[in-house]
Amino acid sequence: MNTPARLKALATAVPEHVMRQSDALPAAARLFSQQATEISPRRLARIFGNTAIETRNTCETLDWYLQSHDFSDRNGLYLKHAAALLQRAAEDAIAEAGLTPGDIDMIVTVSSTGIATPSLDALLVENMPFNRDVQRLPVFGLGCAGGVQGVARAAAMARAQPGSNVLLLVVELCSLTLRHGDRSKSNIIATALFGDGAAGAVISTAGTGPAITAWGEHTWPDTLDVMGWDAGGDGLKVIFSRDIPTIIEQDFQAAVDDFLERQGLSREQIDHFVAHPGGAKVLDALEAVFGLPHGGLGASREIMRRHGNMSAVTVLFVLQEMRRAGLKPQQRLLLTSMGPGFTAAFTLMEAD
């Protein structure tokens, strides 16, 4: 049980449509101008500009988002696109690990932007040659924390059955949660932030790859209304509290230090912070917590610039960006993200 789980492979996938922020802003202005919203065109431009996002990938074309669609239509598209993106990510990750679908023993699937029963992994089993006794664990409701928590859950399963191959799949189609008639500031901010994407990883105690050495979480009291979904008649309504950067500035450092202390470490012993880029203000707050200069979370900012906020998937894109840039042996990485609860999630890795 002391053998660490390792990240044998990691793959990412995005839908084909590229939405430029310079095109999304005038489209959003047209959409919200029809709804007597209190957000002025000048303030809307400031919201979009402050995201530091240039492009996002979306499941549908820009024109589609300007039309009203009921929840049934949007969830049908979620099932279609999520299954396709997950298959791409799964095939690439399995191939990178030098395996076949038949070598996968367990599948952990994380998503919070749609409803799937049968679950997304069941749909995937119908389209890929997995063994029929493959174990499946679909996880819903973790929000933006789901990528970090998904790595932790998959690593725990791999350690519980040494030598097994666990396939972690994460997909979020945030753009499909746009509520056409919602005038709330949360919906408008989501319109400026959210993109779509998927990631797949193979985790096992066998073979080589960065070791997943520890994981943990911290859930603050009386914070259930900070982040999440409200279920309305026309689907899932995003909840964003304006207090998120403040919570990070005031409380996140203690949670990070407590987790690291339990591992016998300090922030100074972390070589790379792999942070979910929830937004520009969140990144500013995280850099201050980690003792980094402005722009110190360069990989997180770069993924935010190219892909926007893809919820749980985003942190795995950041990790992939760092892997491609090159990791030195024995460098420590701390994956962090925040999600509904309000919860901070941590996973510690060490490059081989």
Enumerate the β-bridge partners of residue 202.
9, 167
Which of 294, 285, 295, 277 is closest to 336 using CA atoms? 277
**Residues labelled catalytic:** 144
Element (H, E) at 242: none
Which tokens hold the place of 329?
């042996």
For 224-293, strand residue ranges (E) read 227-232, 235-240, 272-275
Q: Which residues of 284-304 are buried (b: 16+ CB within 10 A; e: fewer)?
A: bbbbbbbebeeebbebbbebb
Cis, bond preceding 71 (omega within 30 deg of 0)? no
**Which residues have a Cβ under 8 Å from the Cβ of 326 and sit 6 or more positions away?**
none
Q: How far is CA 53 from the centre of its chain?
A: 16
Which tokens hold the place of 237?
């309504």
